[in-house]
Amino acid sequence: MPTGARVVLVVDDDVSVQNLVEAVLAGLGVDGVIAPDGESGIACLDTVQFDLALVDLDLPGMSGVEVARHVREKGLTCTVVGMSGVWTDDTRAEMMALGAVSVLDKPISIEPFARLLSMLLGLPSSEGVPESCGAVLDRVGSAS
């Protein structure tokens, strides 16, 4: 169970992306919960109040669009950011229409990603990437 003031759900089946996002979140001092597919992501969303959900588009079973639709239909207050390496104009538009505040291209560029997370979570370090984030990322290596 998450213990920090801010909690982020990461819905992605790619272990290297999970590790990268966990490292960035740790560097920002934010708790992360990993869901490897859409169904488990929805189960998490229905049981924990998340500040932010990072949702991959291409998931096994249920798509990221379906996860974003669930957030909207349930009236959840969590901010949604889509992530994918295979966006089309239609899927970008659909994610945004469902309330996603951003749609990110993979591979993820670490520094802009950390700044975006910091800004969306209202962290005091939104002007730049905290040094602790870089130290954690050095341990993970280049997962993007």
pTM given for the model: 0.85
- Give the pLDDT confidence score for residue 129 in this predicted structure: 53
Q: Using one digit for the tens of pLDDT, what is the confidence trace for 85-135?
A: 888 899 999 999 999 999 999 999 898 999 999 999 998 754 445 554 544
In CATH, 7-140 is 3.40.50.2300: yes
Domain ranges of the chain: 7-140
The per-residue DSSP string of the chain comes to ---SSSEEEEE-S-HHHHHHHHHHHHHHT-EEEEESSHHHHHHHHTTS--SEEEEESS-SSS-HHHHHHHHHHHT---EEEEEESS--HHHHHHHHHTT-SEEEESSPPHHHHHHHHHHHTT-TTTTS--HHHHHHHHHH----
Give per-residue pLDDT as tens, 38-88.
999 999 999 999 999 999 999 998 999 999 999 999 999 999 999 998 888
